[in-house]
A and B are shown apart, each in its own frame.
Chain A
Amino acid sequence: GNSVTQMEGPVTLSEEAFLTINCTYTATGYPSLFWYVQYPGEGLQLLLKATKADDKGSNKGFEATYRKETTSFHLEKGSVQVSDSAVYFCALTDGGYQKVTFGIGTKLQVIP
């Protein structure tokens, strides 16, 4: 079945540091890939997505590229802010957009 593996946190960075959160996946067919974010006290929100190989999803300064050859979808941001402190979830769905499978989440803490 489908599965998502992402790096365990917490990740602690200073403001303006470079962020990478690794995510790899196992899936049959051609999944769509997502990053969701959960800010403290809030529900899950879609951050970005990519639906086919070599697509780059981007939003709010975050980027992730769908790499089929390495089955990866790493999340990056060039300069993090304190307001980026949250839990980030990598996820995938099959081509029919049915069940979405999530990773365990990576907590990011950005300190001033």
Chain B
Amino acid sequence: DTGVSQDPRHKITKRGQNVTFRCDPISEHNRLYWYRQTLGQGPEFLTYFQNEAQLEKSRLLSDRFSAERPKGSFSTLEIQRTEQGDSAMYLCASSLKGALFFGSGTQLSVL
């Protein structure tokens, strides 16, 4: 399977803990995106990379969130000191130019 893969599929954590998610994009895609989706809502933009450069970060994203894409390949999204409001589906997508190809997401539950 050469699609976008995300790991883990599900994560349950306690409030205050740190969590890290991984995304492996389609290999030839140079753009990588992170979105967050809650029930009944559309995906909400978090951040975007072109190769290894983080070009845009949502103003809604608190300082507890950080994303990296070393060497322009896979990406990680870390949430520090998780809060119950962070519970959501975290989606990764990649593109070469144009439409996005999404992974299946990581469902985060903060207890």
Let me know if A97 and B33 touch, CB within 8 A: no
Q: Main SS of the interface on chain B? A: strand
Complex Cα distance A42/B95, Å? 19
Name the B residues within 8 Å of A32 (CB-CB): 98
Which among A4, A36, A44 has the greatest number of chain B C-beta atoms within 10 A? A44
Name the B residues within 8 Å of A97 (CB-CB): 31, 95, 97-98
Given contacts A45-B102, A46-B101, A100-B33, contact A89 B56 (CB under 8 A): no
Counted as pairs of residues, one from A and one from B, with CB atoms less than 8 Å apart, the total is 53
Which among B33, B42, B91, B103 has the greatest number of chain A C-beta atoms within 10 A? B42
Q: How large is the interface on A (under 10, 10 to 19, 20 to 34, 35 or more residues)?
A: 20 to 34
Given contacts A43-B91, A43-B104, contact A99 B48 (CB under 8 A): yes
Q: How large is the interface on B (under 10, 10 to 19, 20 to 34, 35 or more residues)?
A: 20 to 34
Binding site for A on B (CB under 8 A): 31, 33, 35, 40-45, 48, 55-56, 91, 93, 95, 97-105
Known pairs A34-B99, A105-B40, A105-B41; list 19 more (Cβ under 8 Å): A32-B98, A42-B104, A43-B102, A43-B104, A44-B43, A44-B102, A46-B100, A49-B98, A98-B56, A99-B33, A99-B45, A99-B48, A100-B33, A100-B93, A100-B100, A102-B35, A102-B42, A102-B44, A105-B42
